[in-house]
Amino acid sequence: MSFRFIEDGPERGDCTAPYRIDLGNTPYTVEDFINEILTDHARDWGKITVYSPSGKAVYVARYKYGTLLGFPANNLMVFRIDHVFADGGWTRMDYSITVKTPEDFEKER
């Protein structure tokens, strides 16, 4: 697995920018995505926010240099991701993850 950053707006004066994340054809779970951040982007730090399909923030955690700071929301870790946006630059990157509903999982089986 390997997601890609696609710049989704202009770079700001501090060299940060908004991004949308291309997950490719791979169905990611929240756990898959967080693990990839922690391993493949181990020099980064920032915040990970997970949103319900209705847009409510249901989990927020900070990460730093390959470590998740805080407890993982175990019940959310198995949810499949609908889409991801990111914002940052240099080594700071914040991620906004929106999950699919459990009903969506049943439709995909």
The pTM (predicted TM-score) of the whole model is 0.90
Strand 4-7 to 17-22 pairing: antiparallel
Q: Give pLDDT tens digits for 31-90.
A: 999 999 999 999 999 999 999 998 888 899 999 999 999 877 778 899 999 999 999 999
Domain ranges of the chain: 4-102
pLDDT digits (tens, 9 = 90+) for 49-60: 999 998 888 899
Distance CA(8)–CA(46), nearest Å, equals: 19
**Count of C-beta atoms within a 10 Å radius of residue 59:** 19
